[in-house]
Chains A and B, each alone.
Chain A
Amino acid sequence: MPANELKEVSTEYMLFEAKREEQFITGSEAVREAVRRANIDVAIAYPITPQSESMHLVGDLYAEGYVKEYFRGENEFAVMSEITGAAMAGVRTFTATCGPGTLRAFENFPMWSGARLPIVMGFMTRAINAPLSIQPDTIEMSFLLDTGMMMMHAEAAQDLYDMLLMSFDIVEQTSVHIPMGVFVDGFFVTHTRQKINIVTEDVKLRPYNPGLSPVPHIDMETPPFRLMRDPFVMKSNYISYAAHASWQQEVMASAQRAKKYIKKYMGSFIEQENPDASIQIVASGTAVSQAREAIRMLKAEGIDAGLVKVKVIRPFPADEIKAVLSGAEKIIIPEFNRVGWLCREVASVIPNNDRILPGPRVYGGMTMPPEVIIQVVKEGALVGV
């Protein structure tokens, strides 16, 4: 069906009612399929492995007419700034990057939150220099935790597809209107084929409605004409300090208000399997799949362990995590990064956090065999680490 003949539907319809078919595709192709039905106005790309393929495919969608405007920018800082301009003009945007690209673009992310821009963006996480490595590593998520952006972490291509499609309506709510990063572990998900259920009906999301924005767009169509996005509050006086502080509080509050929309589409922020087990493994991204395998292997040995899959990182589901871990005696948090940011997050919200055993943490592109998780479960730490 030609792009301009797709019927516009609500996000509820897209996620819960539209006809789906199982396809065996890569994570990058899942990005393409989500963007195909997301009614994107402006997409801007810049290459970096393992993200590039996703934005190549978005480029193909532009050539086919599914995306209205698309080009390759000059670097990630510029791309995010170009996205800024487009979002301020009142259109729906999309871009993606990872690793060094994320850091190159960094100054834009807190600015997006402060400017209340409803941008949805993909991060196909990878390691950060030095030494240079293109391999999977989720350390960039650690840096992004406090930018004011919302963050979701996909376990596999199905999550990635659904999270992207639901994010537009979440960020475009009048009471939300802050950016959403949808994170997926580079290569492990982007470059592997998986069975995923894709909408095959001839539908697309309704277009972005600039009239619902809580901040005016810059188009000389929206009164008042005396309007700056965003004016300075840098005077040395209390009014200025209070203006900056309350604006930041409003950004944080926007993320809290997003919770009900996230819940509406995602059902829950976390998923728990085997809640009664005294050993609980908490993970996000592909570490969840590895944990699942470890739990299966432990069960075969007669050791009972549960799983807490964290799908939303910002706003952080602190109460939910605290509640599901209330009965746990041992908590293991496997991560694909050096710093253990998920571990820090969990440790900051649960009582008696000495229940957490360190790691396992793998990084620099290493895989995480279930055996290393099992070793931590049994011995409290990785031998030799």
Chain B
Amino acid sequence: MSLDITRINPYFEDVMPQEYIDLEKNGSFGSEKRLGDLGAFKELLEEHPMCAGCHLALAFRVLVSSLPRPEDSILVGSTGCSSLAFTQLALHNIHSLFGNQNAVASGLKRALKLRFPNKVKDVIVMAGDGATADIGLDMTLHSWFRGENITTVMFDNELYANTGGQESGMSMCGAVLNMAPTGKKFQKIRVHELAISAGCAYVAVVSTAKPKNISECFKKAILIAREVGPTYIQIFTPCPTNLKIKPSDSKKVAAERFKGDYAFKEHITDEAREYLTSIKDAVKKEALETEAVLVSEDKEIPLEGG
């Protein structure tokens, strides 16, 4: 547990930026947040330079607010629009090259296991569709084949947003985009299916149409990645700038696609399901035990008083 690094030396409080103090005093370190708490605590991602109506930014905000243990979470990003948000993130994170995110995360996770054998360090990759499914696809898949204990998140805006709206492997067939002047000639890559066959223990296809669902699936993905194996979350995050729609219409696009081809999909292996049940049971058991202790302590109080 690295809560210590989130604490400010009291002698330095007067020189620390207010937002850093807020992150310590009213942030999510040391206390798991629910999506419903948004607005009532200091978030790990703020003041990013993303466009108005950017659903990648919305998804990013939902994700980092849903981290089960932000104080032990390390993010690995890639080049693309999301990397502009990463610079604003109040967590250790890496950007090294375009497309190598799952390889960097693999080395990082293994090294952290060596350095901190008795701690859980959640390593989470968050990258665009181009980074995950095109230039970095080999490394995405191989990290899954190897069974790395990492979570991979794809922000799927179905194009290369950062470089000006070019076709990606995740673009829809027929989409007319830069570098696809007569329309894309092949189907959207079925990365979620590849994830299942590559051995991911948990796979979810979600959408900004349902932020709460993103949050719940992401939490499960992180827990499962700790003990069972790699997990994958694919999020539909429409890009109004490159779709050339009004920022306020991203929501409509997400909602329509959610009703159609971008509906919720979830896959969980038996092992992962059993693991989740076992944690729930453990939490319940712990709660019961705490209750029992409280009850017995209650009983002792009058004795002591007497």
Contact = CB atoms under 8 A, between A and B. Distances in A.
Contacts of A229: 92-96
Interface string A62-97: 000000110101110111011111111111010000
A69 B73 CA distance: 22
A90 B111 contact: yes
Contacts of B108: 85-86, 88-89, 218
B220 interface: no
Given A69-B114, A85-B105, A228 B94 contact: yes
B6 interface: yes
B20 interface: yes
Contacts of A22: none
A239 interface: no
Interface stretch (B58-66, B82-90, B233-241, B283-291): B82-90
Contacts, number: 148
Nearest to A78: B103
Contacts of B23: 225-226
Interface of B: 2, 5-6, 20, 23, 29, 71-74, 76, 83-84, 86-87, 89-97, 100, 103-112, 114-116, 121, 138-139, 142, 146
Contacts of A68: 114
A16 B135 CA distance: 47
A307 B137 CA distance: 50
A85 B95 contact: no
B74 A107 contact: no
A107 B103 CA distance: 14
B2 A85 contact: no
Contact of A220 (B5, B86, B142): B5
A232 interface: yes
A5 interface: no
Nearest to B108: A85
B2 A221 contact: yes
A226 B20 contact: yes
A25 to B, nearest CB: 29
B104 A225 contact: no
A85 B107 contact: yes
B107 A83 contact: yes
Nearest to A222: B5
Given A74-B138, A111-B96, A225-B90, A85 B106 contact: yes
26 contacts: A41-B111, A42-B111, A71-B146, A75-B138, A77-B103, A78-B100, A78-B139, A81-B103, A81-B107, A84-B100, A84-B103, A85-B76, A85-B103, A85-B109, A86-B111, A88-B108, A210-B115, A218-B92, A218-B108, A219-B116, A220-B73, A222-B5, A225-B23, A225-B91, A228-B94, A230-B95
Interface of A: 41-42, 44, 68-69, 71, 73-75, 77-79, 81-91, 93, 107-108, 111, 115, 210, 218-232
A219 B96 contact: no
A111 B89 CA distance: 21
Contacts of A115: 96
Contact of B74 (A78, A83, A219): A219
B121 A220 contact: yes
A73 B115 CA distance: 21
Given A221-B5, A225-B6, A225-B92, A82 B104 contact: yes
A58 B105 CA distance: 23
A68 B83 CA distance: 32
Contacts of B100: 77-78, 81, 84, 108
A78 B5 contact: no
Contacts of A210: 115
A107 B136 CA distance: 14
A293 to B, nearest CB: 43
Given A42-B114, A78-B142, A220 B95 contact: no
A75 B111 CA distance: 19
Given A111-B97, A221-B5, A232-B87, A82 B114 contact: no
A71 B109 CA distance: 13
Contacts of A222: 5, 92
A62 B176 CA distance: 51
Contacts of A84: 96, 100, 103-104, 107
Contact of B114 (A71, A91, A224, A231): A91
B49 to A, nearest CB: 10
A218 B96 CA distance: 12
Contacts of B146: 71
B107 A89 contact: yes
A262 to B, nearest CB: 27
A81 B5 contact: no
Contacts of A78: 100, 103, 138-139, 142
A73 B100 CA distance: 12
A210 to B, nearest CB: 8
A73 B2 CA distance: 30
Contact of B111 (A69, A107, A221, A227): A69
A193 B142 CA distance: 37
Contacts of B83: 232
A81 B97 contact: yes
Contacts of B96: 81, 84, 108, 111, 115, 229-230
A71 B29 CA distance: 34
Given A68-B114, A69-B111, A82 B103 contact: yes
Q: Which of B2, B5, B73, B111 has the most CB of A within 10 A?
A: B111
Given A89-B112, A229-B96, 9 more contacts: A69-B114, A75-B138, A82-B103, A84-B100, A89-B108, A111-B97, A219-B74, A220-B72, A227-B91
10 nearest A-B residue pairs (beta carbon): A85-B107, A85-B108, A89-B111, A81-B103, A82-B107, A81-B100, A86-B107, A85-B104, A86-B111, A74-B142
A217 to B, nearest CB: 8
Contacts of B109: 85
A228 B89 contact: yes
